[in-house]
Chains A and B, each alone.
Chain A
Amino acid sequence: MRIDYNIKDKIDFYIVIPVILLICIGLISIFSSTYNNSLAQNNFEKQLYFVIVSFFIFLIIHFLPTNTFKILSVPSYIFGLLLLLLVLVIGKKVSGAKSWIALGTFGFQPSEFAKIATILALSNFLSRNNNNIDSFKDIIFALGIGLIPVALILLEPDMGTSIVFMFFIFILLFWKGLSILWLVVVISPGVIALSAIFGITTFIISLVVLLGILFLLNRDLFFNGSVFALNLAAGFFADYIYHMLSPHQQARINSFIDPSSDPLGTGYNSIQAMVAVGSGGIFGKGFMSGNQTQLQYIPEQWTDFIFCAISEEFGFIGSISVVILFLILLGRILKNASNSRDEFLSLTQIGIFSVLFIHFLINVGMVIGLIPIIGIPLPFVSYGGSSLVVNVIMIAIVSNIYRTRKNYI
């Protein structure tokens, strides 16, 4: 087989250029949002350092033989689990979650690394030749691979990352071709649990809807009964958990349901974020001129709320650019994934797509008030070493697969 070695063929510019632009936008906004903050004085320099580190990591991974990923998938998954256990023991508590391992002056988040490892391991399992995704045993096994790290991450506890995991696990199963019935079975406990928190009415309505869907898809009374029972249990369990939560966590959930109910309390971040975005207008208030950003109305804006700084200082033009860049990037990964004829590589890319997509969805969604405040960063843009490196590794994997795509036709 002949491979055309021109640059366009080796590097996917639809992937690389949006990422570079996003990283640049991120650097600019980190500079602006930390400029007046004594607590975050060196964050711009640190981020720049990680950008350079990431560049070399990208080059290395980009040129690795593509089968390395499959070979490394199981060992890295086991290593990832060990790290997740380790962090529970020696982890450093940052904003309520024991999710960091200190490495000299830099911190490192095992759950970020575990994302890649879990994607690779689950893709590996799902792409085995004898895998029958509609068999009960294989589904349980696949869920097991996915949910063990989720369980460990929930112990930290890190709600945001757990949601990311659950999302990409579901999308991988979906991509693999799990039947709609099973998809419903897999996803329903989560939906029911969520509806239970919203109140008894929504809980009952969603249970009725679920029952309807089950009987539409399947006539087996016993099967439907068990699934229904499982869901009922999930609902009550969620309610139980909700009441076990500390008041401030409950308040967070409540304030999402109606952020204006307590504007000076828990809805604070949400409202200030929206004020920052909305007040940006079409062209923004200009670099270093957003008062919401410069006066630190939003705590730690350079991390999870970086989108506010972009929206406030660069306006609709800036914020819509970020959305378009993500649309191009994610669309391209999705296209590459569906073009991949190798099942493992296709699944891996879909996993990566899902991770970036859910981060984008939750992060931007929460900033513009469509989703409750869940603390996860905006890929490539938010400040944070581990996050940036892991995201770049994922992009490098996609890029690597693109480089060798013609080998797998």
Chain B
Amino acid sequence: MVAPRIILDAERFRLTLARLCYQLIENHDDFSQSVVVGLQPRGIFLSRKIIAELNKLTGQKITYGELDVTFFRDDFRRKALIPQNTQMDFVVEGKKVILVDDVLFTGRSIRASLDALQQFGRPEKVELLVLVDRRWSREIPVSPDYVGITVDAVFSEKVTLDWNTDQQGAIVHLLTKNQED
């Protein structure tokens, strides 16, 4: 029914993750004014890897939180939305926030996350890091600052991430539906 194709294997994922971390370090110096925020539910797998790598590379403990945006989404009543936990024991007032998500598709959850973030103060700047940027599928003017890979996929296709704990990384699949489906 579907023909999955690997577009990022575990080895490439490790390289990409390292590159994203070095890009962040270039822009954020010692991270004293920066915080990393992973978006629930799926962005946190990536953000936890990023924060572990950043802590290792910089030798510091960088402020880190996980944000659930369910209550701020605009597709409420179109599908069942079950909230996840928010873990943010700091305020973002005057801080540079790095939002982390796995796949950037329509941009709607990023819009919701900007609303949700306001509950924790007025950040000086908000940046967006995504592992996969699905180009040409945006419904809202959102663009990422840090991108793992860029994928050109049509709406009927699906991008999925397998977080394989054995291999310490992710494999990104592209699922394409056959014509007859």
The answer to whether A and B assemble together is: no
